[in-house]
Amino acid sequence: LTRDKRAAALGQRGAFRGSTVWLTGLSGAGKSTIGFALEEYIVSKGLPAYCLDGDNIRCGLNKNLGFS
C-alpha cells in the first residue's frame, strides 16, 4: 500500500478509534499475504490501516535481532 493511499484514508476519518487484528499461524501459511490484502481492503473503505509484518518491523530499530 502506498503512502499516498494511506494518507488519503487518514484524512477522511477523524474520529476513528482503532482496533487490532492479529493473524497467527505457521511459517508460510499466508499470514503476510492475508494481512496486506486486509490492509488494502480496509484502506479502500476509507479507514486507516497498517500491516505490521515481521519483514517491515525488522528493518527498523530491531534490525539486528534474529527470529528467536
At 41, list the grid cell: 481492503
Which helix (H) or strand (E) segment is 54 a member of? Answer: helix 54-57
Question: Taking a C-beta distance cutoff of 8 angstroms, is the pair 23, 61 a contact?
Answer: no
Percent of the chain with pLDDT over 90: 34
Provide the pLDDT for residue 31: 93
Question: Does position 58 have pLDDT exceeding 90, yes or no?
Answer: no
> What is the mean pLDDT of the segment spanning 4-25?
75
Q: Within 10 Å of residue 39's Cβ, how many Cβ atoms?
A: 20
